C-alpha cells in the first residue's frame, strides 16, 4: 500500500498535466504510410513519448471517478498501480490487465451485489478503459515491430501489425479452424463452415482490405466459438447432424461486412444487451492462474470484440431469432483513410456521466401484477 500511495503522489501532477490534452487519433492509412515511407525511429519515438502519457492519463482520471467500493477491491487497486507505473515509465509491462480488471468487477459484485446505476457507470468506464488499452498496445506494437526485434518472419509484407492486403476469407478460415479445434476438444464434434464472398468493387475477386489481422481474428474467433457451442448443444442428438455455420463476406463502397450465421436456437431479445454487459455473466468465476486461457469464464468475449470493431470506426451487432439462430455482423470501414482510431477523451461530458444521478424513465414499464382498474378512485369520464 505504501508503494502504491508513493506512486500515486508522484504521478498525480503528471496525470493532471497530460489529461488536459486530447488524444490524437490515427487512421490505418496513417499507420501504413508511416511504416512504408522511410519510417523514422526517432519520429515514432517522439510521437509515442507525447501520445502514450496523454492516453494513459485520460484513462487514469476516469479510474478515480469509479465507485469507491469498486476502487477498494484488491484487483482494481492492482490495475491502478500497473497504470501508474506505465505512466511513469512509458512502457507496456503488464499483459494481464484485462482479466485482472475483470476479477475486480467480480469481487465487487460478490461483495456489494448488482446496482443498475453503478453497472451503467462501470459499463461506460470499461468500454473506454479497454479501448484505450487496445490503442496504446497498437501504438507500441507498431513501434516495436517496425524498429525493434519483434519482427514476424511469417508475415514479411506486414507493415507492423497491419496487413496492406489482408485476405478476409483467410482470416475467417483461420478463426474457424481454431474455434473448431476448441469445440471438438470439448464436444467431440463441430459444425462445418460455408463461406461466401460478394465483392462489389471487383466482382469474382477475393476480398482484401487494409486491416490488423489479429484484431479481425479476435472478433471472428469469439463469434465462431459462440456459434459452434450453441449449434452443438442444440443439435447434438439430431439425426440430421449439425447444421453448418455460414460466413458471408461483402465489400461495398463504404463498408466491409462479415456476417456469421448459425442455427443454434437464438437468444431472446431481452437478453441481447446483456451479452455485451461486463457485469452480466452466468459463467463461474475463473482462475487467474498463469497459463489459463485469457478471459475464460469472464463473459468478456463479445464486449471486447465489439471494442475491437469500433476501434477503427466499425461495429459489431447481433441479430437473433429465438428458436432459430443468430446472425452476428462485423462492420469495418472499406477505406483505410476513413478507419480512424475511436478514442475516449476525458472532459466535462465524461465527468458528468459518472456524477449525474439516474433520472426516472419517461416510458411506461410493465408492472409485475396487473392493476385492478375497478378499485381505482380515478374513473374514466362517461
- Above 50 in pLDDT, residue 91? no
pLDDT given for residue 226 in this prediction: 94
- Above 90 in pLDDT, residue 108? no
- Above 90 in pLDDT, residue 68? no
Chain segment 215-226, per-residue pLDDT in tens: 999 999 999 999
- Above 50 in pLDDT, residue 90? no
User: Do both 120 and 175 map to the same domain?
Assistant: no
pLDDT given for residue 86 in this prediction: 55
pLDDT given for residue 197 in this prediction: 98
Q: Select from 107, 124, 157 the last residue of a domain.
A: 157
| Residue 184 domain boundaries | 163-333
* b/e 229-266 (16+ beta carbons within 10 angstroms → b): bbbbebbeeeeeebbebbbbbbbeeebbbbbbbbbbbb
Nearest CA to 227 out of 273, 274, 194, 269 is that of 194
Chain segment 331-352, per-residue pLDDT in tens: 999 999 999 999 998 888 888 8
The least confident of 43-47, 182-186, 254-258 is: 43-47
Q: Cβ–Cβ contacts within 10 Å for residue 310, how many?
A: 16
User: Do both 248 and 309 map to the same domain?
Assistant: yes
pLDDT given for residue 279 in this prediction: 77
> Mean of the pLDDT values across residues 112-131?
85
Q: Cβ–Cβ contacts within 10 Å for residue 325, how many?
A: 22
Counting residues of the chain whose pLDDT is more than 70, the rounded percentage is 80
Chain segment 123-153, per-residue pLDDT in tens: 999 999 999 989 988 988 887 788 766 566 6
Query: 3-state DSSP call for residue 247?
Result: strand
pLDDT given for residue 378 in this prediction: 53
Domain-embedded: residue 377: no
User: Do both 114 and 259 map to the same domain?
Assistant: no
- List active site positions: 218, 222, 225-226
CATH number of domain containing 58: 1.20.140.20
> Mean of the pLDDT values across residues 89-116?
69
Nearest CA to 27 out of 335, 345, 346 is that of 335
Domain-embedded: residue 382: no
Length of the chain: 382
CATH number of domain containing 272: 3.30.565.10
User: Do both 278 and 199 map to the same domain?
Assistant: yes
Domain-embedded: residue 366: no
pTM as predicted: 0.81
**Rg for the chain, CA atoms, rounded:** 23
pLDDT given for residue 107 in this prediction: 81
Count of structural domains, the chain: 2
- Above 80 in pLDDT, residue 116? no
Identify whether the C-beta of residue 313 lies closer than 8 Å to the C-beta of residue 131: no
pLDDT given for residue 230 in this prediction: 95
> Mean of the pLDDT values across residues 191-209?
96
At residue 21 the predicted structure's pLDDT band, cuts being 50, 70 and 90, is confident
Amino acid at each position: 500500500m505504501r508503494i502504491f500511495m508513493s506512486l500515486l503522489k508522484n504521478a498525480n501532477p503528471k496525470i493532471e498535466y497530460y489529461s488536459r490534452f486530447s488524444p490524437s487519433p490515427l487512421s490505418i492509412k496513417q499507420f501504413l504510410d508511416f511504416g512504408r515511407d522511410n519510417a523514422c525511429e526517432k519520429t515514432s519515438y517522439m510521437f509515442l513519448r507525447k501520445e502514450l502519457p496523454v492516453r494513459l492519463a485520460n484513462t487514469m482520471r476516469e479510474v478515480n471517478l469509479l465507485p469507491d467500493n469498486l476502487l477498494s477491491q484488491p484487483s482494481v487497486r492492482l490495475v491502478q498501480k500497473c497504470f501508474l507505473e506505465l505512466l511513469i515509465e512509458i512502457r507496456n509491462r503488464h499483459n494481464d490487465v484485462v482479466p485482472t480488471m475483470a476479477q475486480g468487477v467480480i469481487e465487487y459484485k460478490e461483495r456489494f451485489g448488482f446496482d443498475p446505476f453503478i453497472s451503467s457507470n462501470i459499463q461506460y468506464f470499461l468500454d473506454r478503459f479497454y479501448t484505450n488499452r487496445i490503442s496504446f498496445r497498437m501504438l507500441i506494437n507498431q513501434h516495436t515491430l517496425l524498429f525493434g526485434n519483434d519482427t514476424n518472419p511469417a508475415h514479411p509484407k506486414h507493415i507492423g501489425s497491419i496487413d496492406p492486403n489482408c485476405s478476409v476469407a483467410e482470416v475467417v478460415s483461420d478463426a474457424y479452424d481454431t474455434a473448431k479445434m476448441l469445440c471438438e476438444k470439448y464436444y467431440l464434434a463441430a459444425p462445418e463452415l460455408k463461406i461466401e464472398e460478394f465483392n462489389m468493387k471487383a466482382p469474382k475477386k477475393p476480398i482484401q482490405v487494409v486491416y490488423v489481422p489479429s484484431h479481425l481474428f479476435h472478433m471472428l474467433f469469439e463469434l465462431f466459438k459462440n456459434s459452434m457451442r450453441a449449434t452443438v448443444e442444440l443439435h447434438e442428438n439430431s439425426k440430421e447432424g449439425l447444421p453448418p455455420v455460414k460466413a458471408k463476406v461483402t465489400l461495398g463502397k463504404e463498408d466491409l461486412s462479415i456476417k456469421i450465421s448459425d442455427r443454434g436456437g437464438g437468444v431472446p431479445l431481452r437478453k441481447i444487451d446483456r451479452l455485451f454487459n461486463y457485469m452480466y455473466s452466468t459463467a463461474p468465476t475463473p482462475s487467474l492462474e498463469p497459463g489459463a486461457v485469457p478471459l475464460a469464464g469472464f463473459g468478456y468475449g463479445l464486449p471486447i470484440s465489439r471494442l475491437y470493431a469500433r476501434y477503427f470506426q466499425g461495429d459489431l451487432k447481433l441479430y437473433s431469432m429465438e428458436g432459430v439462430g443468430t446472425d452476428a455482423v462485423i462492420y469495418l470501414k472499406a477505406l483505410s483513410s476513413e478507419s480512424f482510431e475511436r478514442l475516449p477523451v476525458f472532459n466535462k461530458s465524461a465527468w458528468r456521466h459518472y456524477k449525474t444521478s439516474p433520472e426516472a424513465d419517461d416510458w411506461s414499464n410493465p408492472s409485475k401484477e396487473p392493476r385492478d382498474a375497478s378499485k381505482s378512485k380515478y374513473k374514466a369520464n362517461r
